[in-house]
Structure 1
Amino acid sequence: MRKILNDLLNLFFPKLCMICQTPLTGGEEHICLTCLCDLPHTGYDFLKENPATYLFAGKVPVYRAAAFLHYEKGGHVQQLIHSLKYHDNREIGFRLGRMAGLNYRQAFLTDCPDLLLPVPLHPKKRKQRGYNQSEWIARGLNSVLKLPIDTTSLRRIKETDTQTSRQTYERWQNVQDIFSVADHKELEGKHILLIDDVITTGSTIGACAEALLAIPGVRVSVLAIAIA
């Protein structure tokens, strides 16, 4: 009975692809297969140096880094990220995280992190948005990698102005000392995988890494859905 009702709803109120607005068919969720195939994959190897790792070189000793997709202004990836962050579309975060997990699963089996740590929002911004988009990406990753998600150990203690109009050096200066670690003992000796939606200059995630790397024995790796 439920299937019949769902079929009737889809007939009169079809779900549309978030990118091209064509009706989704059986098995498609949020994005049609054609648009999925057209997403701009970076091809970055998580186990080797790539443009994501270069952003942190000489600034913060990130162990590994990768980004799943290319982010371009006005492009499809911007459309998806914008929906995730500003239109309460948490499910697209889960879906993108799961896709990234499937893409990098083999690399994680080679050198598996101990936990996933989404980049935290300031409490004021989290309250305004109602959720942290990076947590939903982490949930998608968790559905593939089965790694614990830590949302309490790292806190954003300072609210910063928007980074959009700032140059690279200014962005790094703007995020100094904005994160703190709640319990150092819990993270000692861990390999932490930081999760974020988009890497631009790497300043925010670099500030996260700096706070975590003050803990004895910690290694920090980075995975973002996209890189600008």
Structure 2
Amino acid sequence: MVCAHCFSDLPVTGFLPHAGNPVEKLFYGRVPIAAAGSLYYFTRNSLLQRIIYQLKYRNHPPTGLWLGRLLGQQLKESKRFQHVTVILPVPLHPRKARQRGYNQSLIIAQGIAEVCGWEILDQVLHRTVFTATQTHRNRENRMLNLQQAFTADSNALGHHRHVLLIDDVITTGATLEACALALQQAASISVSIATVGCTPPR
């Protein structure tokens, strides 16, 4: 279990209120994004890495809810996400979802929804290709690995025209880029992005 005091020690990026932050710049010239940002810096062997590991591999969904609430509070305070009406968690492939027992991005989304009041739709995006781990791949190799990995169901979006994509950590941005492209190919919508963690800009 992660104590409340530990969360206060996490390194905050300060990105969410600001346009043109390093997370947004990952998508420049690749896919149109209305707003993007991350709450904390994520580095190897850091406290946040241990917290995310607990969420993903130690069967502890309450950690994800807590992270989601913290992220949700910052999203609510930022005027840049005020037009969002629905949250879309990045999906897991069904095989990985069965192995893990839950989608950590959906748990984080639930924490955000508690704070912001946005609807969650987890049947819009589907991961149809089981890809190998992305951990040690660069952006180009990740995008090759993710080609055609996601599909989007425009009918499941209903009336929503500004979605918020949620994931736990962003490194190169390849996974979120692939999701955004699938969404924008399926429907005329605006896409914003938020994650709990991001790797520091180089």
Settle same-fold status: TM greater than 0.5.
Answer: yes
Secondary structure of the residue aligned to 1:60 is coil
- In 2 relative to 1, CA 93–108 (structure 1 residues): closer, same or farther, beyond 3 Å? farther
- Contact 2:14/2:39 (<8 A) preserved: yes
Q: Distance in 1 between matches of 2:188 and 2:195?
A: 23
**Which residue pairs with 1:220 in the alignment?**
191
CA contact (8 A) 1:94 1:139 kept: yes
Report what 1:32 is aligned to: 4
Identical columns (%): 38
Shift of residue 185 of structure 1?
Answer: 6.6
The alpha carbon displacement at 1:217 in A equals 2.5
Q: Deviations over 1:86-142 (max 9, x none)?
A: 000100000000011112212258623010000000000000000000000001001
- Residue 147 of structure 2 aligns with an amino acid whose one-letter code is Q
Q: Given the superposition, is the C-alpha separation of residues 117 and 130 from structure 1 closer, same or farther in structure 2, using an over 3 Å criterion?
A: same
Report what 1:55 is aligned to.
26
- Confirm or deny that 1:153 pairs with 2:153: no
How many residues align? The count is 199
Counterpart residue type for residue 209 of structure 1 = A
Aligned structure 1 segments of 4 or more residues deviating by more than 2 angstroms: 108-112, 182-189
2:109 matches 1:138: yes
Note the C-alpha offset of 1:47: 4.7
Name 1:198's counterpart in structure 2.
169
CA distance in structure 1 between the partners assigned to 2:68 and 2:182 by the alignment: 24
Q: CA deviation at 1:202?
A: 0.4
TM-score, structure 2 as length reference:
0.92
RMSD: 1.7
Any unmatched runs of 5+ in structure 2?
A: none
Q: Confirm or deny: 8 A CA contact 1:55 1:202 kept in the other structure.
A: yes
Match of 1:66 in 2: 37
Q: Which ranges in structure 1 are unaligned for 5 or more consecutive residues?
A: 1-17, 19-29
Task: Identify which of 140, 152, 155 aligns with 1:169.
Answer: 140
- Taking the aligned partners of 2:94 and 2:156, their CA distance within structure 1 comes to 23
Match of 1:179 in 2: 150
TM-superposed CA distance for 1:213, in Å, is: 0.8
Question: Which structure has the larger Rg over C-alpha atoms?
Answer: 1
Displacement after TM superposition at 1:32 (Å): 3.4
Match of 2:67 in 1: 96
**Aligned equivalents of 1:180 and 1:63: distance in 2?**
21
SS in 1 for 2:110: helix
Distance 1:96 1:186 in 2: 25
- Shift of residue 182, structure 1, vs aligned partner: 2.5
Offset, 1:187: 4.7
TM-score, normalization by structure 1: 0.82
Whether the aligned pair in 2 keeps the contact of 1:118 and 1:194 (CA below 8 Å) is yes
